[in-house]
Structure 1
Amino acid sequence: MGAMEYDVVVVGGGAAGLTAAMVLARACRRVAVVDSREPRNAPAAHMHGFLSRDGMPPAHLLAVGRGEVFGYGGEVVKDRVLGVERTPDQGFTVRLAEGPALTTRAVLVATGLRDELPEIPGVRERWGDDVLHCPYCHGYEVRGTAIGVLGGEARELSLHQALLLRQWTEDLVFFPNRIALTDEERERLAARGVRVVDGEVARVVVEEDRVRAVEMKDGREVPRTSVFVAPRFVPRDELLRSLGCAVGDNGWVSVDPTGRTSVPGVWAAGNVVDPRAQVITAAGAGSVAAIAINGFLVEEDVDRAVADYRVSGEMFSNLVERRVSEAVVGDRRHGLKAEVAGPQP
């Protein structure tokens, strides 16, 4: 373990990964962050709900975070991780796409997730601007306006959005698209004051770099100024799965409250294991994981120190015993010589 370059390698330089790296660097750990610089929230101009950082551009937050990690002696490597493998001494080798491999005692995977969007023209083009998914992140900025909710593959989340967003506006339209609503669901939407427009959605109409309407396949247009859609969340968990981390019934890698996986020495934090984590939530998860990882390393350090202490103690005892034995033998030899020589005149 003494040959390991790092105590911890963090894979992913978002809010979770950078927070963890800063906490570990402040704990005087040798830590490196491998960051491909492809954050999930890159399309968004601003982030919200982060106390003292509300409205900050996501890229600015990450730049500040990298600077803080550097300031405490941590390293940030711009590269992509191709794989992570166990080493014979129970550490890990982290293989990079461009740079040399890194060796480490523990790994934190904070690679996030990707949003799989419905193939509706206009959705991807305006994603992160006025096509959105999180009311808590962006609802306030579009409050009181004409909002639409597009039904997608994530049926439950789509219906939840339709009921939830009514809190931000009185002018809300739900487009079930290919979702077949039950009578009870229609009743709940009507009672909540949500208008339902049936039929298949053809596109989100974009004019002058902004959403203007939702167009149906039959040619109808429903004027809207922003649209919410429920993506399918796909975790970027290939590294975790390749290491053999256990997966829960929900199809996501299982972790305990500290982010510990089923594989010793491997943690995960942020959207890679929690699709609901916002930026501030991911940062908190990174801090919790870092403290747990440091505790794990402390236990290893103590176990190693105890083993070394026992060996050195045994060596010292053997040395003392040998010297005492040599002294006793020497005394006996001296006495024997005196007896042979007899009394001196």
Structure 2
Amino acid sequence: MLPGTVCALVVGGGPAGLSAATWLGRYRRPTLVVDAGEQRNLAADRAHGLLGRDPTTPRQLLADARAGLAQYPHVRLHQGCVTALRRDEDGAFRAEVDGREVAAERVVLTTGVRDRLPDLDGLAAHYGTDVHHCPACDGPTAQDRAVVVLGSGAQLPGYAAELLDWAAPVRLVLDPAEPGIDDGQRAALADHGVEVLEGTAVALTGEPGDLRGVRLADGRTVPAAKVFFSYAHLPAGDLARQLGCALDHEGLITVDGFQLTSVDGVYAAGDVTPGLQLVPIAVGEGAAAGVACATSLRGRPALGGAPAPGPPTRRFAPG
């Protein structure tokens, strides 16, 4: 049974959301975490760069975080979806969670983003093993191996060049039907030894874990042990728009140093905010959001049987 009222509603149960919920639990704020179970990196074989546990698997990371929340009795996890979110005139937030209304004094948005995937035969079997979207996360696994980069847009040359820290050779395949790159970008890639090919990628060759190449529509096969792609990543859902949060040019939620959005009482963390999209950063931003959210409630009446917060002092963040 969902609670009718909580101090904080965390929307999203990935690394950022579970980190925020952990700190809300430590401050003994009654918290509901609603998780749709659609974390961006679930297809990946490994999550890298986490202090003290490098590598781990995305599923193990989430399982351990959820288990850790069990020590905080005021935090509740719910598998489901928040489909609507609004703020009443009295300042309370009202969320529709799987058809039931839940009221909250604060909201933390950690809904993440969704990647546009390449249209490739065999992608489902290879994605997360030898096809990746994040150079910083999985680039080291391509050390001294041939890489093909797919994608579109002005950011693509920089994305391809980042892989030169590990891979060799790096080849960029540009689909004529996609937004391309200019002559200056082509020249810069050539200076760095990145070959640019024209063609439409249609299929992967080889078995998962033993990728051999990318087949193009004209019959050519470009050798590759790894494929990286960058087309677009869009915020998941429109809850931030429903609340009127300020967004940047990519539709990501702008926040201040305490992860507070332009809407008082609404915090955001993780990939749905601007900046590097890495699990360790999502965890840190989630912690900042959780602490700021919890301390903004200091002096407010406790809900759900939680101990009363201490008297208001200097607030950690506005709210």
TM-score bracket for this pair, using the shorter chain length? 0.7 to 0.9
Q: Which runs of 5+ in 2 are unaligned?
A: 302-307, 313-319
- Matched with 1:217 is 217
- Matched with 1:83 is 84
Map 1:267-306 onto structure 2 (within 5 A).
Answer: 267-274=267-274, 276-298=276-298, 300=300
Map 1:150-161 onto structure 2 (within 5 A).
Answer: 150=150, 152-153=151-152, 155-161=153-159
Give how far 1:276 is off. Answer: 2.8
SS of the residue 1:259 aligns to: coil
Greater Rg over alpha carbons, structure: 1
Contact 2:8 2:32 in 1 (8 A): yes
- Matched with 1:330 is none
- Matched with 1:207 is 206
Between Structure 1 and Structure 2, the one with more strand by share is 2
Write the letter of the residue equivalent to 1:258. Answer: F
Contact 1:15 1:282 in 2 (8 A): yes
Give how far 1:102 is off. Answer: 2.0
Q: How many residues align?
A: 299
Q: Distance in 1 between matches of 2:288 and 2:267?
A: 10
- Matched with 1:7 is 7
Q: Which runs of 5+ in 1 are unaligned?
A: 307-345
SS of the residue 2:246 aligns to: coil
Higher relative contact order (CA 8 A, sep 6+): 2
Q: Distance in 2 between matches of 1:25 and 1:126?
A: 38
SS of the residue 1:20 aligns to: helix
Contact 1:34 1:76 in 2 (8 A): yes
Match for residue 170 of structure 1 among 163, 168, 171: 168
| Residue 27, structure 1, aligned to residue 14, structure 2 | no
Classify 1:274/1:247 alpha carbon distance in 2 versus 1 (closer, same or farther; 3 Å): closer
SS of the residue 1:227 aligns to: strand
Map 1:120-199 onto structure 2 (within 5 A).
Answer: 120-150=120-150, 152-153=151-152, 155-178=153-176, 180-197=180-197, 199=198
| TM-score computed with the length of structure 1 as normaliser | 0.80
Give how far 1:273 is off. Answer: 1.9
Give how far 1:180 is off. Answer: 4.2
> What per-residue deviation string (whole Å, max 9, x for no partner) do you get for residues 47-80 of structure 1?
0011112111111111111111121111111111
Contact 2:206 2:213 in 1 (8 A): no
Classify 1:101/1:172 alpha carbon distance in 2 versus 1 (closer, same or farther; 3 Å): same
Between Structure 1 and Structure 2, the one with more helix by share is 1
SS of the residue 1:139 aligns to: helix
| TM-score computed with the length of structure 2 as normaliser | 0.86
Classify 1:142/1:250 alpha carbon distance in 2 versus 1 (closer, same or farther; 3 Å): closer
Write the letter of the residue equivalent to 2:281. Answer: T
Contact 1:70 1:76 in 2 (8 A): no
Give how far 1:256 is off. Answer: 1.5
Q: Please report the RMSD computed on the Cα atoms of aligned residues, expressed in angstroms.
A: 2.4
Contact 2:9 2:106 in 1 (8 A): yes
